A and B are shown apart, each in its own frame.
Chain A
Amino acid sequence: MSGEPILCCSGLGKRYGRRTWALRDCDLELPRGGIVGLVGANGAGKSTLLHLAIGLLRPTEGSVRMFGEPLRVDQADGLARIGFVAQDHPLYRRFTVADLLHFGRSTNRRFDLAGARDRLDGIGITLERRASTLSGGQQAQIALTLALAKRPRLLVLDEPVASLDPLARRDFLRTLVDAVAGSVAGDDLTVVLSSHVVAELERVCDHLVLLDEGRVRLAGAIDDLLAEHRVLVGPRADDLDTMDGVIAASHGQRHSNMLVRLPGPTSPHPRWESHPVGLEELVLAYLGEGRNRPCSG
């Protein structure tokens, strides 16, 4: 992943009705050729951001640019570059797999029919089956295969694995990483997916965007984000909660745990131990931050 960002949001906001902002002041640059994980609590604005990113929704304020140009999903060229799988990966239930592929090819200009057949063959899905008779995991695989066959530059997946069992989840993500690994330079694929399952994001994603109450709280390469944070454990210190760089703190009778962002209070005392932080701990700390602060200390 390198070079110009694939997607650039500036001052992006979406208001529903007269007062409810689902997303606000969103400035974001998504790097090319990676897999971006979008996390946040329910109602944090994840689906809104995804829908704005692909032009399914019109922003109330701000703008989205793809490859430096405004989104043009009303034009065939613009639409061809984007793939989208909605939550619960809906398919035409009466269609057979062959019908779905035929439909895909008829409605898309550069549809990789042979590649789609190979992929489905590889995971043991036959063309005669009706969508409604397939398992949830297989339906998800078909939805993903159809989206990939469009050969989009940007693929957006809204909670793709939420309803799948662990094995189906693993198979789905395997198809996804294989598609990214197999995409060639110059025609490379970038994926944005939202998820609640942080453990899987850590393996599959190289970039993270964390939304909280309609705002971007954290965004960047996961390796960088992990390197920028530390868990400190040491003698109890109530006064540190309000210091700059302290993201979350919890206190025992005689000791305190803190998650800090560097450069922060790395070593307030020689007795403080500093530990690296895992992605799940980091995400939970940021999501819990607003709610934990008032009752700490």
Chain B
Amino acid sequence: MFVFRLDPSSGVPTYLQLVDQVRRATLLGYLREGDRLPTVREVAAALVVNPNTVAKAYRELDHAGLASARGGQGTFVTGSIGEVPTATYAQLSRRLREWLRAARDAGLAPEQVHALVTATLDDELRTGAA
């Protein structure tokens, strides 16, 4: 069964943390189509969070097409978002690390790296869309 966690210091609202974890786990293949997610009550008791917050996260997952409730049986993962093969993932991750080291050696602070990544990503998306 999928296990959620919470990072109280992240500043990210609880329901979004739950949604993100399912999204990431689906991307990474930890969750697959047809997997059952724990019930709202189970998640609320395990994390000691408000059940309405968990229900809100599950509604968001439903909207995003990532999971859906099957009457009375629970909530199931519906979409696997184009799974990345492990080897590809490892390779990309290694090259990203190399790049991050280069950025650090060039004297970029983490915020500057972040800003650069965001700007480049925006740019790429815009070019891709055009």
Q: Chain A residues in contact with chain B, CB under 8 A? A: 1, 33-35, 170, 173-174, 177-178, 180-182, 199, 202-206, 223, 226, 276, 278
Q: Does B8 contact A (CB under 8 A)?
A: yes
A181 adjacent to B40 (CB under 8 Å): yes
Q: Does B101 contact A (CB under 8 A)?
A: no
Binary per-residue interface labels of chain B (16-51) against chain A in the complex, 1 for a CB within 8 Å, 0 otherwise: 000000000000000000000000110011011111
A204 adjacent to B41 (CB under 8 Å): no
Would you give 6 A-B contacts (Cβ < 8 Å), ordered by A? A170-B48, A177-B49, A199-B8, A203-B47, A206-B53, A226-B13
**Residues of B in contact, count (CB < 8 Å):** 19
> Hey, which chain A residues are within 8 Å of B13, CB to CB?
223, 226
Chain B at the A interface: mostly helix, strand, loop or mixed? helix
Complex CA gap A34/B47 in Å reads 17
> Hey, which chain A residues are within 8 Å of B45, CB to CB?
174, 177-178, 181
Which of B6, B41, B45, B48 neighbours the largest number of chain A CB atoms within 10 Å of its CB? B48
Complex CA gap A174/B45 in Å reads 5
Shortest beta-carbon distance from A121 to chain B in Å: 16
Which of B11, B15, B50, B52 neighbours the largest number of chain A CB atoms within 10 Å of its CB? B50
A33 adjacent to B52 (CB under 8 Å): yes
Q: Does B68 contact A (CB under 8 A)?
A: no
With A178-B41, A181-B40, A223-B13 as known contacts, state yes or no: A204 contacts B48, CB within 8 Å: yes
> Hey, which chain A residues are within 8 Å of B11, CB to CB?
276, 278
CB-contact partner of B6 in A178, A181, A203, A205, under 8 A:
A203
Q: Chain B residues in contact with chain A, CB under 8 A? A: 6, 8, 11, 13-15, 40-41, 44-45, 47-54, 56
A203 adjacent to B41 (CB under 8 Å): no
Complex CA gap A174/B47 in Å reads 8
> Hey, which chain A residues are within 8 Å of B8, CB to CB?
199, 202-203
B48 adjacent to A203 (CB under 8 Å): yes
Q: With contacts A177-B44, A180-B51, A203-B47 known, what are 13 further pairs, Cβ within 8 A?
A: A33-B52, A173-B48, A174-B48, A177-B50, A178-B41, A203-B6, A204-B49, A205-B50, A206-B50, A223-B13, A223-B15, A223-B56, A226-B13
